[in-house]
Amino acid sequence: MSFTIDLTGRTALVTGGGQGIGRAICLSLAEAGAAVLVNDYVPERAESVAKEITSAGGAAEPRPFDVSDYAAVSAALGTGPQPGILVNNAGMAGPVPQGAPAGVSSGAFAQTDPADWNKYFAVNLFGVMNCTHAVLPAMITAGQGRVITIVSDAGRVGEPNMAPYAAAKAGAAGFTRALAREVGRSGVTVNNVALGTVDTVGLEDMAKDSPQFAERLQRQLKRYIVPRFGQPDDVAGLVTFLASPLASWISGQTYPVNGGYSVTM
């Protein structure tokens, strides 16, 4: 058996692919030979990553749209090659400024405003469902496909002050498990990758400017078996494996990539 991952001839859609973890996933899939549709709600970010791939000799096109808008998703994917690989990476709490930390903490749930819950579900759950619904018929017709959804340890083992976000991520994970049972006989596999803290915004540099933030990071790091925060490339490798023929007998599963932050089954 060869362990070379070869995705030549496959088309992959990566949501939230314009920066951070999504960018790393796009680059990894392209290096394995896939043609990558780079999604981001900021067109310039999608275009930048697509250009980065094509400049290196790969194949990529930008596909800017908001995953929480089903009509926009359908319109963006209605023409051209249909992806046989979908990576539902877009998440957090919707748009944040470039380089800013993602807003996943909503504070103590008893003090939250119900009107604020929707932003977590719109992207992390309904965005996943929207994109999956749009690409799944073509996968079923083709008799093969990969759906990989990035979820969070917040939804897998729980985190205080993140209840709406955790609920949305747990919902996406449950959706994956149910869908895997529906489409397995059609040759489509559906899996989750659950993340601990991944440094996409330069946490160490931010800590230099704030002793309070630095202290909080050190407290958090004490819970990690591998004493560092994740990097985007730590995620991209597993996603690329799950997208490949080597993972054809894996479905309905959740794989933690978290440095040992949690060790529950």
Is 165 designated active site?
yes
Q: What is the dihedral of CA 105, 68, 153, 35, to 10 degrees?
A: -130
Chain CA centroid to CA 147, Å:
11
Amino acid at 7: L
106, 161 in Cβ contact below 8 A?
yes
Of 144, 131, 148, which is closest to residue 238 (Cα–Cα)? 148
Distances (CA, A) of 175 to 48, 81, 121, 142, 254: 31, 25, 13, 22, 12
Of 97, 197, 183, the C-alpha closest to 144 is: 183
Give the SS3 label for residue 146: strand
Which of 41, 165, 224, 261 is catalytic? The answer is 165
Rounded Cα–Cα distance for residues 139 and 104 (Å): 32
List, by residue number, the catalytic residues. 165
